[in-house]
Amino acid sequence: MSGPLRKLSQQRERSLQAELMVQQYSGPLPHPDMLIKYEDALPGSADRIIKMAELQSLHRQSVEKSESEAKIHLEKQYQKSEFIITVFGQIFAFAICVLALSLGVYCILNGILWAGGFLGGFPIVAIIGMFLFKRKKSS
C-alpha cells in the first residue's frame, strides 16, 4: 500500500472514543460548580455574582409590584368612569321622560290628543321595555 492509503487503514484500525457531555443549568445563579470556578479564578467574584442576582431579584419584584399597582389603579379608574357614565345616563333618561310626559300632558290639555298620547305613552313604553330587556339579558 502506498502512503495515503496506508495511513487511512491505520486510522481505521485505531479506535477513537469520544465522550460528549452536555450539562444544562438554569437559574438566577450559575451552577455551584461554576460558582466555585469563578471564585477560584477571581477571589470575591462568587459574592459579587450572588449580590448581583439578589439585586436583580429585588428590581424584578419592584417592577412587578409597580405593574400590579398600575393595573389596580387603572381598573379603579375604569370602574369609576363606568359608574359616572351610568349615573349620568340615568339622570338624562329621567329628564327626557319627565319632559316628554310634561309635553304630553300639555298637548292633551290643549286639545292635541294624538301628540299628547304619543309623547305621554312613548316614555312609559320605553321604560317598561328597558326593564324587560334588562331582566332577559341578566337571566
Instruction: State the pTM of this model.
Output: 0.52
What are the two backbone dihedrals, phi and then psi, of residue 31, each rounded to the nearest 5 degrees?
-55, 145
pLDDT digits (tens, 9 = 90+) for 30-50: 989 999 999 999 999 999 999
Q: How many domains does the chain have?
A: 1
- What is the pLDDT at residue 127? 80
pLDDT digits (tens, 9 = 90+) for 93-111: 888 888 988 999 999 999 9
- Tell me whether residue 101 is in a domain: yes
Within 8 A by CB and 6+ apart from 108, the residues are 116, 117, 120
- Tell me whether residue 103 is in a domain: yes
- Tell me whether residue 12 is in a domain: no
- Tell me whether residue 9 is in a domain: no
- What is the pLDDT at residue 136? 60
Q: Which domain holds residue 134?
A: 18-138
- Tell me whether residue 7 is in a domain: no
- Tell me whether residue 46 is in a domain: yes
